[in-house]
């Protein structure tokens, strides 16, 4: 039962072949057995989860259930959930218990999901490997010596290892799509503004977007339909009519133009990843799609621009964590200045400190025009590149990541090298576009490879339709990592 998709579990629940309580107990038992090795979840509340499952069973018995009623899920630990510890993977918030629910937590609970736990993450969502958590690194279920990707690596590892059938995540520069690719599951970052950021602890406000992990495009459509929608509490939430993101799942893709940027399969992409992606493109052309070459000439500028804009916004957003207003407070400080300094030095890890310092520097007098303003100009160039490319194609495709999952503590890796792991995902965030990663093959040591599909703004349904068509002809999304006894 644990190997079934959300859609398949939904049918089993409605047909009363299993109860939500039985299903929740099954996943809780897997968490108890496997999470110690993976470190994917940092908080689990069995009693609350089972109470929620029993409530779901009552809804199912009354035939008041929706497609997600009774489905166990986990939330990335930067989404506030009333009465749950919300740490952001940081010592700064290690004991913070949220007094309210994030918008997506509200929406998914209203849809009947069963919240079983909070997922480990890179501290304040800053990282590409999930090695930056105060609670220790998350391990990839395919090889525990390797990273699952970040910053939503705990959510991705939990879904890949079948600890839960689905989990929420956030994506600022690739933090859903990248770990989805490295763990062999599906993940979607919707159009900026499609899903409310209310109750999501901010990293970079103009880039952060909530999304979700699951095992299939069909699952992503079910979950995104429940999560998305206008929220007046979030100034970046776009007011649009409710949408069924599964409406194009069975649409034919014959005649669809798939753009492959010439920058996506050249230098910097490992041969095993390139081979798997080309195989996926061959499958899509076999289904009637047509591949066309497009160009994103400013792709190479996206990473440096991102690492000016995102840290600049982070330096502002994280200024509240000072030991007075929020978070960890150092003991024995002699004065207010030393209280600030010691609280932030003790409470924040090295990567978070590095990005705050970078952000403060690029916003400082004399450097704003030289760095921040220039980065915003590059952001426009990146968005314009996508606009021109979409004049020639309907969907853009390419690798999600340049390599398969790499070893934890990879020697000789400096921060800049790590930043390049998001080479193909960051431009999508800069442009505010939707992106999906789905498994498309195996690379080195049999590790998963991800195919990224990028669409025009608000084209999530089309992307999920293409992904679903691919998954009807392949079984990469059904592969599961080995389980140690």
Give the C-alpha separation, 442 to 424, whole Å: 19
- Give the residue-averaged pLDDT of 281-296: 98
Has 151 been annotated as catalytic?
yes
pLDDT digits (tens, 9 = 90+) for 308-360: 999 999 999 999 999 998 899 999 889 999 999 999 999 999 999 999 999 99
User: Rounded to two decimals, what is the model's pTM?
Assistant: 0.97
pLDDT of 485 higher than 80:
no
pLDDT digits (tens, 9 = 90+) for 360-406: 999 998 899 999 999 999 999 999 999 999 999 999 999 999 999 99
- Give the residue-averaged pLDDT of 136-148: 98
Residue among 5, 20, 128, 175 flagged as catalytic: 175
Residue among 19, 151, 152, 155 flagged as catalytic: 151
Sort strands 72-76 and 166-171 into parallel, antiparallel or unpaired: parallel
Instruction: Report phi then psi at 50, rounded to 5.
Output: -70, -35
pLDDT of 411 higher than 70:
no
What are the structure tokens assigned to 414, written together?
């400096």
Give the C-alpha separation, 110 to 51, whole Å: 15
Question: Which of 127, 145, 154 minimizes the C-alpha distance to 39?
Answer: 154
Which residues are registered as beta bridge partners of 235?
none
pLDDT band at residue 483 using 50, 70 and 90 as cut-offs? confident
Alpha-helical segments (H) within 189-239: 217-227
* Secondary structure of residue 116 in the 3-state scheme: strand
Contact 463, 395 (CB under 8 A): yes
What are the structure tokens assigned to 338, written together?
């030393």
Question: What are the structural domains of the chain?
Answer: 6-253 (3.90.1300.10)
Has 175 been annotated as catalytic?
yes
Residue among 5, 20, 52, 76 flagged as catalytic: 76
- Give the residue-averaged pLDDT of 181-203: 98
């Amino acid at each position: 039962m644990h190997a079934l998709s959300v859609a398949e579990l939904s049918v089993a629940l409605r047909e009363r072949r299993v109860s939500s309580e039985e299903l929740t107990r099954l996943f809780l038992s897997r968490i108890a057995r496997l999470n110690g090795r993976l470190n994917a979840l940092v908080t689990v509340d069995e009693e609350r989860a089972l109470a929620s499952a029993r409530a779901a069973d009552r809804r199912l018995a009354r035939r008041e259930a929706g497609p997600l009623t009774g489905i166990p899920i986990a939330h990335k630990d930067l989404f506030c959930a009333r009465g749950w510890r919300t740490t952001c993977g940081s010592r700064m918030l290690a004991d913070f218990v949220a007094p309210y629910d994030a918008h997506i937590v509200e929406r998914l609970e209203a849809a009947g999901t069963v919240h079983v736990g909070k997922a480990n993450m890179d501290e304040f969502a800053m990282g590409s490997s999930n090695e930056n958590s105060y609670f220790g690194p998350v391990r990839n279920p395919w090889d525990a010596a390797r990273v699952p990707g970040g910053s939503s690596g705990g959510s991705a590892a939990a879904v890949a290892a079948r600890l839960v059938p689905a989990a929420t995540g956030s994506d600022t520069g690739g933090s859903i799509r990248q770990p989805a690719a490295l763990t062999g599951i599906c993940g979607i970052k919707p159009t900026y503004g499609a899903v409310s950021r209310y109750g999501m602890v901010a990293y970079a406000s103009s880039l952060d977007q909530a999304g979700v992990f699951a095992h299939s495009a069909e699952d992503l459509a079910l979950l995104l339909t429940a999560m998305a929608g206008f929220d007046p509490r979030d100034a970046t939430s776009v007011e649009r009519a409710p949408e069924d993101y599964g409406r194009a799942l069975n649409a034919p893709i014959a005649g669809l133009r798939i753009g492959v940027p010439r920058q996506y399969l050249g230098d910097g992409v490992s041969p095993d990843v390139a081979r798997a992606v080309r195989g996926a493109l061959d499958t899509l052309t076999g289904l009637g799609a047509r591949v066309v070459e497009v160009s994103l000439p400013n792709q190479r500028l996206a990473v440096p621009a991102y690492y000016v804009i995102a840290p600049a916004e982070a330096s502002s957003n994280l200024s509240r964590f000072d030991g007075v207003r929020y978070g960890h407070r150092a003991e024995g400080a002699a004065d207010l200045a030393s209280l600030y300094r010691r609280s932030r030095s003790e409470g924040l890890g090295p990567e978070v400190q590095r990005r705050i310092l970078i952000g403060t520097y690029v916003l400082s007098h004399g450097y704003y025009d030289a760095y921040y303003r220039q980065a915003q100009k590059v952001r426009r160039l990146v968005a314009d590149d996508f606009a021109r490319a979409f004049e020639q194609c309907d969907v853009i495709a390419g690798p999600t990541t340049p390599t398969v999952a790499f070893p934890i503590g990879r020697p000789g890796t400096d921060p800049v090298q790590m930043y390049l792991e998001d080479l193909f995902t960051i431009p999508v965030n800069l442009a505010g576009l939707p992106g999906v990663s789905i498994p498309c093959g195996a690379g080195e040591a049999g590790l998963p490879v991800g195919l990224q599909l990028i669409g025009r703004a608000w084209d999530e349904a089309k992307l999920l339709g293409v992904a679903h068509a691919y998954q009807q002809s392949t079984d990469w999304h059904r592969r599961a990592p080995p389980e140690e006894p």
